[in-house]
Amino acid sequence: MKTSRTVWAAVAVIGFGVVAGCSPKEESAGSGTAANKETGAIEAGKWTILDTRTDLADHARAKQNAEDALIKEPDLAMLVGLWSYNGPAILSAVKGSTRAGSVKIVCFDEEADTLQGVIDGQIYGTIVQQPYQFGYESVRLLSAIVRGDKSAVPASKVIEVPTMAIKQADAQKFWDELNARLKGGAQSNFKPNADSVKIAFVTNNVSDFWKIAQAGINAAKPEFNADCEFQMPPDGTPADQQRIVEALMAKGTQGMAISPIDPANQKQMLDKAAEKMAVVTQDSDAPESNRICYIGTNNYKAGREAGKLIKEALPDGGKIMLFVGRLDAQNAAERRQGIIDELSGKPEKP
């Protein structure tokens, strides 16, 4: 059964369009470059992770990486996408190959094509993160902090948003509920006033995933009287984020929720921003920075959940390939490690 994408179309036109073939300016996306990074094979129990291929958030490269894997690895049993756009890219590559129906897919997030793929039985399952809550909680927390109420910050400095594993039996119900929620937050009629806090939400790339977060932002703005600027870096690079953050500081933004692309090398940028405004991270953390709190998924646990889907889909083992934008992002590294540990049978961390 096909589900209407009207709501997704409505969300997609809130001030920006989908960029489906970004070309990162910092590094070439050609074969053998950082955009095509290979990490080597890993034996994990009955499963072999042949490689982890990166694409620097270039959606066209993401699809090409999957196409190359399907051609070069005739006994490849599964493709696993770690970032939201990887699932649709992998699905498109499989559909265009001779391997449709024989190679399985596990991925992350609730993009429209991903959920439709799960409903149609073309994707075994996806780990959804509830980005709506990323947006809503970011506005709620930043609004409180800017107004001087730090009691909203938990002692752990982490607000964990639970994940869910969605398979074919659950997918239609989940999508219907998501669409109902998106209708309520697709557009905001909120008008900032003199008492509104001025905050911002900065993503790590352009993706439908973030439009769900924006719906959460729109729902939260009138509730917390927050003027929240929403920014997606067009090329998904650290330089993009640097320009956005510098512009926010220059205009006197009071608080920012950001998903760092390269947290280890963006510490100075984040700490400088933290001197000017309240800074929290969302989706991907930078725990060594002076951020106040992290909002989002426990990505290691999410990786373990993806590993469980892989074991269900391939109970006798098999060869797997992983795909992600960048491995220097904490969420990518933690998801990958969670998958490896789950397949290897290591005890789960508390």
**Residue that wins the pLDDT comparison between 8 and 50:** 50
H or E segment to which residue 183 belongs:
helix 168-185
Q: Is 158 strand, coil or helix?
A: strand
d(CA 207, CA 59) in angstroms, rounded, equals 10
Tell me the per-residue pLDDT of 271-319, one tens digit each, with 9 for 90 and over.
999 999 999 999 999 999 999 999 999 999 999 999 999 999 999 999 9
Tokens of 291: 């951020």
d(CA 28, CA 230) in angstroms, rounded, equals 28
d(CA 103, CA 88) in angstroms, rounded, equals 15
Tell me the per-residue pLDDT of 30-63, one tens digit each, with 9 for 90 and over.
333 445 555 779 999 999 999 999 999 899 999 9
Phi–psi pair at 18, nearest 5 degrees? -80, 130
Of 30-34, 77-81, 138-142, 150-154, the one with minimum mean pLDDT is 30-34
- The answer to whether 182 and 210 have CB atoms below 8 angstroms apart is no
Residues, the chain, total? 350
Split at pLDDT 50, 70, 90, the class of 182 is confident
Nearest to 163 by CA among 258, 54, 62, 283: 283
- The answer to whether 305 and 315 have CB atoms below 8 angstroms apart is no
- The answer to whether 58 and 24 have CB atoms below 8 angstroms apart is yes
**Residue that wins the pLDDT comparison between 136 and 9:** 136
Query: Which residues, 6+ apart, have CB-to-CB distance to 185 below 8 Å?
Result: 132, 214, 215, 216, 217, 218, 219
- The answer to whether 336 and 82 have CB atoms below 8 angstroms apart is yes
d(CA 98, CA 233) in angstroms, rounded, equals 35
pLDDT of residue 187: 63
pLDDT of residue 181: 82
- The answer to whether 293 and 337 have CB atoms below 8 angstroms apart is no
Tokens of 25: 């300016």
Provide the 10 A C-beta neighbour count for residue 42: 18
Provide the 10 A C-beta neighbour count for residue 6: 10
Q: What angle do CA 326, 327, 330 make, to 5 degrees?
A: 105
Mean pLDDT of the chain, nearest integer: 89
For the chain, list the domains and their CATH numbers.
Answer: 6-129+298-344 (3.90.190.20), 131-161+190-296 (3.40.50.2300)
Q: How many angstroms from the chain centroid is the CA of residue 346? A: 25
Tell me the per-residue pLDDT of 60-100, one tens digit each, with 9 for 90 and over.
999 999 999 999 999 999 999 999 999 999 999 999 999 99
Tell me the per-residue pLDDT of 91-129, one tens digit each, with 9 for 90 and over.
999 999 999 999 999 999 999 999 999 999 999 999 999
Of 172-186, 191-205, 235-249, the one with minimum mean pLDDT is 172-186
Query: Which residues, 6+ apart, have CB-to-CB distance to 107 below 8 Å?
Result: 80, 81, 82, 86, 87, 90, 114, 123, 126, 127
Is pLDDT above 70 for 260?
yes
Q: How many angstroms from the chain centroid is the CA of residue 129? A: 8
